[in-house]
């Protein structure tokens, strides 16, 4: 499993076509290129993309994730990537999730001046009264 050793953002772009509340928000992490740097190290060049639909706006963040794994795992991952241009989840799930989390959190700073919503929902916080009501048993008549 790829272990992310470092993450660097190389560029970004925000476009806002119109004001409004999007009907949907699509988030995608694409690995554009993988370059092997050492027997146990690779660089994943990625694009983090958020599309606010229909035609509200978009965000793109490009960057590099410096990752390492065993030489055997990297060989197998590179073979699979060359076939389908997709990082197999058995090798890349942790790295993709790390890219998604970091780019998502940092997107707040890029999106704020354009008044676009961040591409994630914070957890809902329940009041004590709601928690207590939820935990009460239901009475049957």
Domain chopping of the chain, boundaries: 3-135
Q: How far apart are CA 8 and CA 46, in angstroms?
A: 10
CA distances from 19 to 46, 54, 55, 96 (A): 28, 11, 10, 31
pLDDT at site 121: 65
Beta-carbon contacts of residue 88 (< 8 Å; ≥ 6 apart): 76, 77, 80, 81
Task: Evaluate if residue 131 carries a pLDDT over 60.
Answer: no
The residue ranges of DSSP E strands in 1-141, in sequence order, are 3-16, 24-38, 41-53, 57-68
Q: How far apart are CA 141 and CA 133, in angstroms?
A: 18
Average pLDDT, the chain: 89
pLDDT at site 123: 66
Q: What is the percentage of the chain residues whose pLDDT exceeds 90?
A: 81
| CATH topology assigned to domain 3-135 | Bacterial Protein-export protein SecB (3.10.420)
Beta-carbon contacts of residue 65 (< 8 Å; ≥ 6 apart): 4, 6, 7, 43, 44, 46, 95, 98, 99
Q: What are phi and psi of 63, to 5 degrees?
A: -170, -170
Question: Model pTM?
Answer: 0.82
């Amino acid at each position: 499993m790829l272990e992310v050793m470092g993450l660097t953002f190389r560029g970004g772009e925000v476009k806002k076509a119109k004001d409004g509340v999007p009907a949907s928000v699509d988030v995608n992490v694409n690995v554009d290129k993988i370059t092997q740097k050492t027997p146990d190290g690779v660089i994943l060049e990625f694009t983090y993309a958020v599309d606010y639909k229909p035609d509200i706006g978009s965000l793109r963040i490009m960057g590099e994730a410096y990752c390492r794994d065993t030489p055997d795992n990297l060989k197998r991952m590179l073979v699979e990537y060359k076939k389908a241009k997709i990082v197999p989840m058995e090798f890349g799930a942790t790295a993709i999730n790390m890219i998604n989390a970091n780019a998502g959190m940092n997107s707040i700073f890029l999106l704020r001046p354009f008044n676009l919503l961040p591409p994630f929902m914070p957890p809902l916080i329940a009041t004590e009264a709601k928690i207590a009501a939820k935990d009460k048993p239901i009475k049957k008549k």
